[in-house]
Amino acid sequence: MEKQKNEEEREEEKLPLKDFEQKLLRNWPKARKMEQLEVLEEEKRFHDKTMEFLQNQHELEQELHMLKEKTQQIQQENREKFNTLGCKKTLQTDRLMEMKRKFREMEQVVKEYREEQEILCQKEAEDRAAIKIQTWWRGCMVRLGLSASSRERESKKSKKTKGKKTKGK
């Protein structure tokens, strides 16, 4: 092939200008085919690169789609967890409020019980004090002989003595 090209070049040098033009015209389809082949090869490379790019883009789009689905799934799970936690918090808050209410009721019952016990203790103390005063007073009356029982004894003795004296006379 090189020999042919070399020979053609030599011939071109020898040929006058018109012949050269004729040779160019003869070789023009060949050159054009060569140019077309180069263009086709360039287009093929461009096509291959484009296909590679499109394939890569398609893979990236699939990966993006999968990531979007996964993100949506995770978001849905998180929403469900959030809602569940919200419900649990509401229930716990309700339980807390109920327990506080019961605590206040029980605290009121304990307060009332303590007040009643205090009143009972005061009454018992008053009763003991009254008993002591009454005991002291009765003791004083007995010592002085002014008690009702001693008056009754004396009145019975005087009746007996009066009755005996009259019988004996």
Q: C-alpha distances in angstroms, 148 versus 135, 139, 151, 153? A: 14, 12, 5, 9
Q: What angle do CA 23, 28, 29 make, to 5 degrees?
A: 125
Helix, strand or coil, per DSSP, at residue 145: coil
Span 5-32, pLDDT tens digits: 666 665 555 545 567 666 666 776 777 7
pLDDT digits (tens, 9 = 90+) for 107-120: 999 999 999 999 99
* Rounded Cα distance, 151 and 8, in Å: 177
Q: What is the pTM of this model?
A: 0.41
Give pLDDT, residue 108: 97
